[in-house]
């Protein structure tokens, strides 16, 4: 069996490589930083992200993308959404002609408003059936610690979705297949925006009623956009929809929720980013999602307000007032 390449040695790339290794796959992680790659090779741990987590022996690392990708039948993409297109331009020459490309990203591209699988198809110049999206309630620190979790491998080619499902099935990871790529990706991208709102609400000392409302109405606007783009509404009731939304909003591990809490305490976006340190996709994606919604005449009031707080200096209290005083309507 050929090896799996995991491109990106951050939080999720590292935890995902561990899952693959525990499922019996030989894995090569590509890290941008040679120090991280050397650390993984020499200590069997990612010194920067999970210094206490021992990676399986089958997992190694390199800072040479060509070496990581050559011969890989599965190539896992685990970089920030906004850098993916540029990264793929560099990696494209090394891809095997039948490799399955797995997208772990949960974002929408700024400017183009494209989903990550669309970016992969364009930038890697591959047909849509070669892309599988993995998305679900998958907070990386829990998975790295071997806590049980489930996820979705979504692809229009069931054979490839099943290939990925098999490659990540372990006693602590239970993947389901799904053919709704659009639904899986939108669930993952929009939940980050709603988690920002949830974190803001938490920091403002708001109660459980309104936090439950944010989750429920956040899911409603996610599904509205999804249906307009061709997703199956039922996908939003599944792991990549409600599951991920609830998991992320509730978890202190969530970078998006934490980021929102910092904004809610009055920090600027720059201060919150410096403190969180890692990728909080919702901060940039809220802009792209808002634009995508407007293009498709879909109302996304929570996303609109998160964008105003993140990028237009709006006061969270004023944003809340706007949400609460919208025209009343049927559920």
Ligand X SMILES: NC(=O)C1=CN([C@@H]2O[C@H](COP(=O)(O)OP(=O)(O)OC[C@H]3O[C@@H](n4cnc5c(N)ncnc54)[C@H](O)[C@@H]3O)[C@@H](O)[C@H]2O)C=CC1
Ligand Y SMILES: O=C(CO)COP(=O)(O)O
Residue 241 marked ligand-binding: no
- Backbone φ and ψ for 253, nearest 5 degrees, come out as -75, -20
Q: What angle do CA 114, 243, 82 make, to 5 degrees?
A: 25
Residue 257 marked ligand-binding: no
Nearest Cα to 285, choosing from 246, 317, 323, 255? Answer: 255
When the beta carbons of 180 and 244 are compared against ligand Y, the nearer one is 244
* 93-122 binders of ligand Y (CB under 6 A): 106
From the list ligand X, ligand Y, none, which binds 195 (C-beta under 5 to 8 Å, kind-based)? ligand Y
Residues 280 and 259: beta-carbon distance below 8 Å:
yes
Among 62, 138, 222, 303, binds ligand Y (CB under 6 A): 138
Residue 11 marked ligand-binding: yes
Our finding on whether 255 is near ligand Y (CB under 6 A) is yes
When the beta carbons of 226 and 260 are compared against ligand Y, the nearer one is 260
Pairwise CA distance, residues 124 & 47, whole Å: 30
Pairwise CA distance, residues 108 & 82, whole Å: 8
Pairwise CA distance, residues 59 & 45, whole Å: 10
| Cβ-closest position to ligand X | 10
329 catalytic? Reply is: no
Q: Percent helix, strand, coil in the chain (nearest 5)?
A: 55, 15, 35
Residue 91 marked ligand-binding: no
Q: Which residues bind ligand X (CB under 6 A)?
A: 8-13, 32, 78-81, 83, 87, 104-107, 138-140, 278-279, 281
> Which one-letter DSSP state was computed for residue 105?
-
Q: Which stretch binds ligand Y (CB under 6 A): 20-28, 85-93, 133-141, 199-207?
A: 133-141
Task: Give the three-state DSSP class for 23.
Answer: coil
Looking at the DSSP bridge assignments, the partners of residue 74 are: 4, 100
Among 155, 199, 238, 247, binds ligand Y (CB under 6 A): 247
Residues 9 and 34: beta-carbon distance below 8 Å:
no
Q: What is the CA radius of gyration of the chain?
A: 19
Our finding on whether 244 is near ligand Y (CB under 6 A) is yes
From the list ligand X, ligand Y, none, which binds 9 (C-beta under 5 to 8 Å, kind-based)? ligand X
Question: Which residue of the set 114, 191, 211, 295 is catalytic?
Answer: 191
Q: Which stretch binds ligand Y (CB under 6 A): 27-35, 59-67, 135-143, 168-176?
A: 135-143
Residue ranges for the known binding site for substrate are 106, 255-256
**Which residue ranges make up the site for ligand Y (CB under 6 A)?**
106, 137-139, 192, 195, 244, 247-248, 254-256
Binding residues for NAD(+): 8-13, 140, 255
């Amino acid at each position: 069996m050929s090896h799996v390449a995991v491109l990106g040695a951050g939080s999720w790339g590292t935890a995902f490589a561990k899952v693959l290794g525990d499922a019996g796959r030989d894995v090569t992680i590509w890290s941008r930083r040679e120090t991280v790659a050397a650390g993984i090779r020499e200590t069997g741990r990612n010194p920067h992200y999970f210094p206490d987590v021992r990676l399986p022996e089958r997992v190694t690392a390199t800072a040479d993308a060509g070496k990581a990708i050559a011969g890989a039948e599965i190539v896992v993409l685990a970089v920030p959404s906004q850098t993916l297109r540029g990264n793929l331009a560099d990696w494209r020459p090394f891809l095997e002609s039948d490799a399955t490309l797995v997208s772990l990203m949960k974002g929408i591209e700024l400017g183009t408003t494209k989903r990550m699988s669309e970016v992969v198809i364009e930038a890697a110049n591959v047909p849509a059936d070669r892309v599988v999206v993995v998305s679900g309630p998958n907070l990386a620190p829990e998975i790295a610690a071997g806590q049980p979790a489930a996820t979705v491998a979504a692809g229009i080619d069931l054979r490839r979705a099943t290939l990925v499902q098999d490659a990540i099935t372990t006693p602590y990871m239970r993947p389901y297949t799904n053919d709704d790529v659009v639904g899986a990706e939108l669930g993952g991208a929009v939940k980050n925006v709603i988690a920002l709102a949830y974190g803001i609400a938490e920091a403002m000392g708001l109660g459980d009623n309104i936090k439950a409302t944010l989750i429920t109405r956040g899911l409603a606007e996610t599904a509205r956009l999804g249906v307009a783009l061709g997703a199956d509404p039922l996908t939003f009731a599944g792991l990549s929809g409600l599951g991920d939304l609830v998991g992320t909003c509730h978890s202190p591990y969530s970078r998006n929720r934490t980021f929102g809490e910092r904004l809610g305490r009055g920090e600027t976006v720059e201060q919150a980013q410096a403190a969180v340190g890692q990728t909080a996709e919702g901060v940039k994606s809220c802009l792209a999602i808002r634009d995508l919604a407007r293009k498709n005449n879909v109302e996304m009031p929570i996303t609109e307000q998160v964008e105003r707080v993140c990028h237009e200096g709006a006061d969270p209290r004023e944003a809340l007032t706007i949400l609460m005083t919208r025209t009343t309507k049927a559920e």
